[in-house]
Structure 1
Amino acid sequence: IERLTKNTTYSKQQIRDWHEGFLRDCPTGKLDSKKFLEVYKKFYPEGKAEKFCSQVFKTFGKYMFM
């Protein structure tokens, strides 16, 4: 958390809140491509979600860990 607060404008509480939300959505701590696509579509409904998701997971692997 210290590194994130030093290098961003976010507070410790904001970071904790986001992490708690992430764990509610991804209890295993892993974000798979299906969940990533679901979240991406919520924030960028006009985006090319499938293409972007495919590229992200080609770059980072099967799961993205938090």
Structure 2
Amino acid sequence: MLGDKIRNVRNSLGVLADKVNEGVWAYLKVCQAELTDAADAVEEIERAVAMEKKPIPAATPAK
């Protein structure tokens, strides 16, 4: 979901690799790393929220 969108932006920056000088590319690689970290964090949050929304099954009475 949102993590995928962030990763798509990260991957799109790769298109610029041969179009910019080394200094700019070094900066863009840092941006890519930050976007990867952000995508990972968002996916972790999304999993946690999804788990909170799962219904808890009713307890079975003891025999």
User: Under TM normalisation by the shorter chain, which class is it?
Assistant: under 0.3
Which structure features the higher share of strand residues?
1
TM-score between the two structures when normalised by the length of structure 2? 0.27
Asked which structure has the greater RCO (Cα within 8 Å, sep 6+), the reply is 2
Which structure features the higher share of helix residues?
2
TM-score between the two structures when normalised by the length of structure 1? 0.26
